[in-house]
Amino acid sequence: MTRPDAQFEATLKSIEDIDALLLLSFGGPEGVDEVRPFLENVTAGRGIPPERLDEVGKHYYHFGGKSPLNDLNKEIIANIEAELASRGIDLPVFFGNRNWKPFANDTASEMAKAGVRTAAVFATSAWGGYSGCRQYGEDIQAMREHLQSQGLPLIDFLKIRQFFDHPMFIEEQVSVIEDAFRHWGLSPKEAQDQGVRLVFSAHSIPVIANERAGTPEDGSLYSLQIEQASKLVAEKLGFENYDVVWQSASGNGRVPWLEPDIVDHAEQLEAQGVEKMVVAAIGFISDHMEVVWDLDNELQTAIAPTNLEVVRAATVGHTDTFASMVVDLIEESIGSKKPQHLGSVPSKGCTINGAPCEVSCCEPMKRGRAQ
């Protein structure tokens, strides 16, 4: 498929033709007073009941109102900067969020004033779907509109593709799961032989949102990518006893979300006699609030009275290998490095200036399918 701005694409011959990298993420509050306005930003227009915001707010208050996400993203940025330096690449890295400070529009202004005219964008999601991909494109469009409204020079943004099946992403998932098995002093083969269950977890979304992930021809791209990545990791481990489950569902209760829920699934496994389980939060690159609350708190509380022991594998975003992957993806996006894929499910999202991959790709729930 031809990219939406061939003239811009033609100017990119090497990473030196890019002025900066923008790490574009979700955002999170830094204190108690920021929790409610942050959650209202996140859920604006989604019909989430106030009592659900109250419930989610308690998760943040439990940790002093501070999300771990911003600090984790700053760690990713530091690792990317170190990787760039190790390759002799002089590329400043900026940080902007969709839902909280530093807001993406403010970061775009900072970039424009610093002389940035061409930027690569790494969105902190490996997956397709509206929230995981297309909405970041809309954030890019909003940044350009903001620059224009402020009379600032426009920036051309090249968004990096989804990376769910990149070899480095898969290899790091394998590594952290092997570390989790070592909690019991087991190799992957020994863990399988002893009946340890491996469970991959990702953020649940409404079933209709999953159906609209990708194009109609792709068919439920989000869950297909999660399942593909999980299968690739399990195969690398030589592990057959694995499941794919979902977590962190919200909404008004009238809209079905992807199932099974991880807590329900863990309770079912325990009832079947499973005594050891490793959870790999493959859907998250960092320890988001959903990870530390839903897995480290809610899940552990649910299984505490049972005979099931659950160990969570680390997330992979903080690793040097992850940073190396990001730089490789930049070079891949401008054609100076060959794309690396381990799977057959489509990997999309490499777009210019926020344009969707296709009109009908990853449409939000509130809109009808483009014909």
Binding-site entries: 67, 136, 203, 290
For 95-122, b/e burial (b = at least 16 CB within 10 A) is bbbbbbeebbbebbbebbeeebeebbbb
Binding-site residues for Fe-coproporphyrin III sit at 67, 136
**What is the helix, strand, coil percentage profile of the chain, to 5?**
45, 15, 40
| DSSP string for residues in 120-147 | EEEES--S-SIIIIIHHHHHHHHHHHHH
Answer yes or no: are the C-beta atoms of 129 and 23 closer than 8 Å. no
Binding-site residues for Fe(2+) sit at 203, 290
What tokens does 248 get? Answer: 């962190």
Cα–Cα distance measured from residue 264 to residue 223, given in angstroms and rounded to the nearest whole number:
19
Answer yes or no: are the C-beta atoms of 348 and 161 closer than 8 Å. yes
| Number of C-beta neighbours around residue 371 at 10 A | 6
Question: What is the spatial order of strands in the sheet that 156-159 belongs to?
Answer: 93-97, 20-25, 118-123, 156-159
Task: Enumerate the β-bridge partners of residue 310.
Answer: 277
Cα–Cα distance measured from residue 212 to residue 221, given in angstroms and rounded to the nearest whole number:
8
Q: What is the 3-state secondary structure (H, E, C) of 297-354?
A: HHHHHHHCCCCCEEEECCCCCCCHHHHHHHHHHHHHHCCCCCCCCCCCCCCCCCCECC
